[in-house]
Amino acid sequence: MPKVSRKFIERLKLGTQPAYRVAWRAKIHPVILSKLIHGAEKVWPNDRRIIAVGKILGLSPEECFEEECFEFENGKEL
């Protein structure tokens, strides 16, 4: 089961914007983001919520997750 990466959490916590603003910009509720980060809500492989926040933080989808949870074929996500 994938987990949110340490790099993702560091960028979120050390960034210039508060986490709740990043969450709103990614179109998710700040409480959901908190639950995802702390493991209270399950993170799925290729979880679009995490990827959306990661984009705002300047991270690629691969950098958002600890475990290898992407399936690629010819360099494209399946």
pLDDT at residue 36, as a whole number: 95
pLDDT at residue 2, as a whole number: 84
Instruction: Provide the domain limits for residue 61.
Output: 6-68
54 in any annotated domain = yes
11 in any annotated domain = yes
How many distinct structural domains can be found in the chain?
1
Average pLDDT by stretches of 10, the chain with 78 residues: 92 95 97 95 94 97 79 55
Sign of the four-CA dihedral 39, 44, 64, 35: negative
35 in any annotated domain = yes
pLDDT at residue 1, as a whole number: 77
pLDDT at residue 78, as a whole number: 54
The pTM (predicted TM-score) of the whole model is: 0.81
Query: Which residues make Cβ contacts (< 8 Å) with residue 38, sequence separation at least 6?
Result: none
pLDDT at residue 45, as a whole number: 87
DSSP bridge pairs for 73:
76
Which CATH number does the domain housing residue 46 bear? Answer: 1.10.260.40
39 in any annotated domain = yes
